[in-house]
Amino acid sequence: MELFDQINDFLSDKCEMKLLSTTDGKAFVSYLTDIFEKLGNLNKQLQGANMTLIDAKAKIFGFITALELWKKKFSKRNFSELYWLSKCEITNDAGIVIIDHLNILIKDFNDRFCDLKAMNFPLG
């Protein structure tokens, strides 16, 4: 988002930039910036030679729990969990789109990792 003005200058003659320059457009770009950062962090946490299925399960389902928490907070217009989004004006319409997207992410993660969720690992 620090480069938003430079991007706007570079793409000012493109019709897509007109949408991105709106209040909702800035909110969507901010949300995507934040959510991709969170997904990138999760991806990094899942890498490494010492990563076990138990660790991966904890991290993935911890992330799903975070998504669910953000959804609850966002429905109360509390966007503090996402840095760039919290700096934007969020219209009701943009808030609905963002919450709908979080619902899609939650469902997608649960669907993709239902086998991992069902696994029971013996302790010690």
Tens-digit pLDDT profile for residues 40-82: 999 999 999 999 999 999 999 999 999 999 999 999 999 999 9
Predicted local distance difference test score (pLDDT) of residue 80: 94
**Does residue 31 lie within any of the structural domains?**
yes
Residue 103 resides in a domain: yes
Q: Count how many domains the chain has.
A: 1
Give which of 91, 108, 109 is closest to 30, Cα–Cα.
91
List, for residues 90-106, the tens digit of each pLDDT value.
Answer: 999 999 999 999 999 99
Asked whether residue 95 is assigned to any structural domain, the reply reads yes
Residue 27 falls inside a structural domain: yes
Whether 123 is covered by a domain: the verdict is no
Q: Does 94 reside within a domain? A: yes
Is 14 within the bounds of a domain? no
What residue numbers bound the domain in which 66 lies?
Answer: 23-117
**Residue 109: inside a domain:** yes
Closest residue by Cα to residue 42 from 100, 102, 97, 109:
109
